[in-house]
Each structure stands twice: as C-alpha cells, then as structure tokens.
Chains A and B, each alone.
Chain A
Amino acid sequence: MSVDLSAQFGRSGAAQARELGALLPPRPPRAAASEQLDDSTPAAGEVSTEAEAIPQASADDNTGSPVDDQSARRSAPSRRLQPAPAEVDQTQSFQIPVYVLPAAKAAAQQRRARDRVTNAEVAFSAIDATFPKLQQLLQSRRTVQRKAGSLFPARRQRTRGSSAEPQSRRVAWVLQATAEELGVLDSLVVELGAESRSELIAAALEADLLTKSRR
C-alpha cells in the first residue's frame, strides 16, 4: 500500500519522543515482579547470582507518591507525571539456581523464547509433564551406571560434579520463583527425595526437554 499516513497524522508522539531521546525507559515501576524476557546467561559452570531480572531498588523513584485519601485527591486534581511507585501486591520473588546439562539449558532458552514464557514457567511445566516418573528419574540420576554385564549392581553416586564426564558437567540456569512456589518446590524435594531444588528441577527439565520429541 503506498500511502503516507504521516500526511494526515503528522509525526506521532512516539516518533518524536524517540528523537528527543526520551525513550530510554528505566524499568517500569512494577517490573520487579515480572521477569525480563531477554536472557541473561550465567557463565557455564559458575555459581551465578545473576537472575532473569534483578529487582531494582526504586526508592528514588518514589517521589510523587499517591495520596491515599481519595477525597483529597478529588478536590485537588493532580497532574503527576512521575512514574508512580510500586503497588502493594509486589510479590517477592526468589532466585533459584538450577544446574542443568548445557543442552537442557539451551533447550530451555529456546522454549522460553518460542513460547515467550519465563524460566519458572518452563521449569514448572517440565515438572508437570514428568511428575509421574519424577521420583524414578531422581533415583536413576544418582546411580552410577556400570558397564553392561558388570557383576556389581548400580551404586549410588557419591561425588557428582568433580568426577563427572565433561559432557555431563552442568551449568547454572536461574529462575525466579515466588515464595509460594518455593514452598511447593521444597515440599516436592522432601516428598520425592531430591537432594535439592536444583536437582528436582534439573531432573524434570532434562527429561522433559532432552528426551521427548519437540512439542
């Protein structure tokens, strides 16, 4: 279509603001509660405190805090344009580092980008999908697979990580969970006999994303 809509509309505020350089948005006031979509990748194998989104202290932004008394506000119309402060229902969230196979991390990142969901959502749907066999998955993770035909039964692995094969070395993948989700994860850890939240989630994630055909 060869129209020039700018003839009628003129230049939009969005275009002008861009030119004025005013569109370098600091994070929205309530964005702390939500996770960013651009992936921040912790260096492989490092214990990373890097999160999907780092909640920002926004105390400085909290000028122009809304008046609580509605009638006061009604009688004195305000024209505030400062970003308003965060709302009350700011659900606190917690970072959970999960150590997963590099391939699982890559798959999780793909899934996240494809479905535009958070890491937490990827993890939870993996737990959903693998739940019936999760306990067994956890157990089998901890047994050293002996060579076929070995006379010795499989044995619980003691030292994971240091002695592990290079391809099974795990990397950190961080998700952001609410207190409530954390509680659920912890109860699952106990119930299914996982060693940690990380192990629980990793078992689900690796089984869900690496073994079955792409959804």
Chain B
Amino acid sequence: MHALAVDRQTALARVIAVTNDKGGVGKTSIVANLGGQLAAAGYRVLLVDLNRQANLADDLGTRGTSVDDQGEGLLTGIVLEGRHPLPVAFGVRPNLDLVCGGTRLEALTPLMVSKTMGSPGSSGQSSPFLALADVLAPVAEHYDVILIDCPPENFILTDLALGAARWVIMPTKTDIGGLVGMTLVAERFAKAQQINPSLGLLGAVLFATGTKATAIHAAARSAISAAFGGQSPLFTTVVRHAERTAQDARRLGKLAHELEAEAAQQPAWWVTLRNHGEPQAPRLSATAASVAADYRELAYEVLNVLRSMEQAEQAGAALGAAGERA
C-alpha cells in the first residue's frame, strides 16, 4: 500500500460514519448524543455534518449562531482537496467540536459528479471519493473519535463518508424500512471498500418505534440477525422511543443528558401544578433521564467494541509481523 494511504488509514482509524439510506431512523440523534456522551466523559470528539438540512445544528443548538457556516468550510475544504485546513467550530461543548453542514453542501453533488467524470475509476489517481478522507486526515489526530452524520438517500455524500470512515454504525428502526435502508447501504459499503479497504461495520443500533414494543423489538432483532446470516450486528442497547424528549431536544438545542440535568433543576412538579394562573415555561419531560441513560449505555458499548476490535487488530498485526519474521 502507498505510504500516503497508510498514513491516512492511521489518522482515520477512529472515524465512524453513522449512516442508513432510510430517513428518520435516528442518525443525527445518535451522532449528537453519542458524541455528547463521549465528550462529557472526557474524550475529544469531532462531529461532521454532511446534511443539507443540518439537523445536527438543531440538536446542538448551533443553527444560526456565529459558528454556523452552512457547510461552506467543508465545501471549500473538499474543493481545494485538502490544501486548505478544514474550518472547525471548536468547543460547541467541552471536548466537542463540529464541522457544520447546511445548504452550501448542495454544491457538493455536482462537484463530485464532475470529479467522477474526470477520473473514470483510473487506479493511478486517488479516487474522488477519498476527498473527505483527505480533508479530515490532518485534523483527525486531535480527536479520540470522529462521528460523521450522513444524509438519507444521497449516494454521493454517503460515498464520501464511507471513503473517510474506518467504521460504520447503522441506526435502524424496527420496521422493514430500516432493513431496506441497510441493504442500500450494503451496496455502497461494498463499493467503498474498493477505495477504503479498512472500512468495517462496527454495529447497528435499534431505534425504538413505540413504547410497548417488546415483541416488535424481538421480531426486528431476529429479522436483522437473519439478514446478517445469524451474526447479528446489533448493539444490545436500544434507544427508547421518547417523542417529547426528542422534541424538547431539537427545540432547545440540548442533548438528552443536558435535558436530564435541566429537568432535574426545573421547579418541582407540584409548584408547577399549583401556580395554575401564572404563565409557565413548558415542563421538560423527565424521560430525558432515561433517554440519556440509553445513550450512555450505547456510548459505553461502542467504546467496548472499538476497544476489542483495536486490540484484536493489534494482536493480528503482531502475529503477522511474527509470521513474516519466521
């Protein structure tokens, strides 16, 4: 392998693309909250938003603030092929930085199309779909984990993310749509491995659809396991369905664990009950604590899987080196 490619691979060893071709399965919520949990736990985290709609900015409360460049910085970085440092919004939370998405990303699609025409899969030149990898590689060393929030139904941007990622996390809902979305990702995944051979599936996350869904969860689990030849990619943590908390989060630009803390601070429920007459801020749903706990467990599980994969890899590398010497 090229020395350059090896460097890139090392730099990007902790880049995780959160993707599913299907919309509304929890990609953005997972990027925001998984990132938020890891950052709160002391890891250095970068979030990259590849969405035109930039819901990540809503979840983090950065929309319309001075850091919100609507994806301009990311676009410029890719246009200039990494010759210009990627602008990063530092400290949107302690330990948490952001590369913004937004409407400027619309320009990426035609750009990538023209780049693809320019280099019809010639192997001498690096693939245009390594553009994001090249842009991220120089900043990646500053982070313990980088999470990419992928858009739904957009092959080109998904391909860019898969060209830059070491790992994929696929959120899915309990309905059949999630599985269809996974199948579509599977095609892109196989294709991306041609330019990014180290790409691997870290796991899939079940995003609950209802409150009383134990049987439905079980059915979804076995359907997904079956679709993976009995080797279920699902993490054990399920992100519970909590519509009010999700709405609070996006409305207020707060992560679940931040809502958890605020819900604990708000006036006692009985005070609110009594002051009927006075205008009151809407109460935060106390379920935020439970949702935050789900993300905490997910974060922990992701760290565990990452750690064991990296350990296995190191052991494998050591074995390989020993084999070469023998």
Contacts and interface: CB of A to CB of B under 8 A. Distances in A.
Given A12-B203, A28-B297, A115 B211 contact: yes
B78 to A, nearest CB: 23
Given A31-B297, A78-B44, A9 B228 contact: yes
Contacts of A25: 297, 300-301, 304
B233 A3 contact: no
A17 to B, nearest CB: 4
Contacts of A124: 269, 286
Contacts of A74: 142
Interface in A51-107: 65-66, 73-74, 77-81, 83-85, 87, 89, 91
Contacts of A8: 186-187, 189-190
Chain A to chain B: the 5 pairs with minimum beta-carbon distance, closest first: A66-B42, A14-B203, A12-B233, A22-B308, A84-B42
A160 interface: no
Interface in A121-180: 121, 124, 127-128, 131, 178, 180
Interface of B: 14, 37-38, 40-44, 95, 141-144, 167-168, 176, 179-180, 182-183, 186-187, 189-190, 200-204, 211-212, 223, 227-229, 231-236, 240, 261, 264-265, 268-270, 273, 286-287, 289-290, 292-293, 296-297, 299-301, 303-312
B233 A81 contact: no
Nearest to B91: A70
Interface in A1-43: 1, 3-17, 20, 22-23, 25, 28-31, 34-35, 37
Q: Which of the four size classes fits the interface of chain A?
A: 35 or more
Contacts, number: 178
A117 interface: yes
Contacts of B38: 84
Given A8-B190, A23-B236, A13 B211 contact: no
B256 to A, nearest CB: 11
A3 B167 contact: no
B38 to A, nearest CB: 8
Interface string A187-210: 010000000000000000000000
A51 B201 CA distance: 38
Nearest to A89: B261
B138 to A, nearest CB: 12
A214 interface: no
Interface-centre pick from B40, B143, B183, B187 (highest chain A CB count, 10 A): B40
A114 interface: yes
B41 A87 contact: yes
Given A23-B301, A28-B297, A14 B234 contact: yes
Given A1-B176, A31-B293, A77-B141, A10 B200 contact: yes
B293 A5 contact: no
Interface-centre pick from B95, B168, B269, B308 (highest chain A CB count, 10 A): B308
Contacts of A109: none
Contact of B167 (A13, A22, A127, A181): A13
